[in-house]
Amino acid sequence: MGNKNKAIGKQSPPQRRSGNTSRHADAPDAAATSWPPFKPELPVTQLIFDTPVPALLDQIVLLRNFWPRSLCRDYVTFLSGLPLTTTPGRPRRGEATRVNDRFQIQDAQFSQRLWLQTGLRDAVLEDSVKHLW
């Protein structure tokens, strides 16, 4: 049966497994994925990159408040119902065991919506952050 700890952003407790260390869900069809709409309509506002760790200025950036709280909640709920894949739990020597549930899909239409309808394009192409990419 399924693992009750599956949720976006949560780690499953380490489990001993033999043989194949990952469980693969069938890859979902991008055309069959009915993404929640961007509602309320997202205003294209100026999104500002934040560097949470000054020492990692050119390595880690955050785009805070990218989605309104209600839309973020809708997507977390939606993604929680999708088939997740558990990553392998066999660490390298000296590393901690990490077992995460993930969802992966290639969906050009959703990517296009995200890029054009959210202000992401304008934020990423801003002159002040072009050096990051």
**Lowest-confidence pick of 13-22, 23-32, 66-75, 95-104:** 13-22
81 located within any domain:
yes
User: What are the residues facing 62 on neighbouring strands?
Assistant: 50
Q: Comparing 35-39, 54-58, 70-74, which segment has the lowest mean pLDDT?
A: 54-58
Look at residue 16 and tell me if it is in a domain.
no
Q: Is residue 6 part of a domain?
A: no
Lowest-pLDDT range of 16-25, 32-41, 70-79, 121-130: 16-25
Distance from C-alpha of 37 to C-alpha of 114, rounded to nearest angstrom: 11
Q: Which two tokens stand for residue 130?
A: 């072009």
According to the model, what pLDDT value does residue 107 have? 92
Is 109 contained in some domain?
A: yes
For residues 48 and 123, give the distance between their C-alpha atoms in angstroms, rounded to a whole number.
7
- Does 104 have pLDDT greater than 50? yes
Overall number of domains in the chain:
1
Residue 33 has pLDDT above 90, yes or no: no
Per-residue pLDDT tens over the stretch 78-103:
988 888 888 876 788 888 887 888 88
**Within a domain: 15:** no
Domain that holds residue 49: 37-86+100-132
Flag whether 2 is in a domain: no
Backbone angles phi, psi at 62, to 5 degrees: -120, 150
In a domain, 123, yes or no: yes
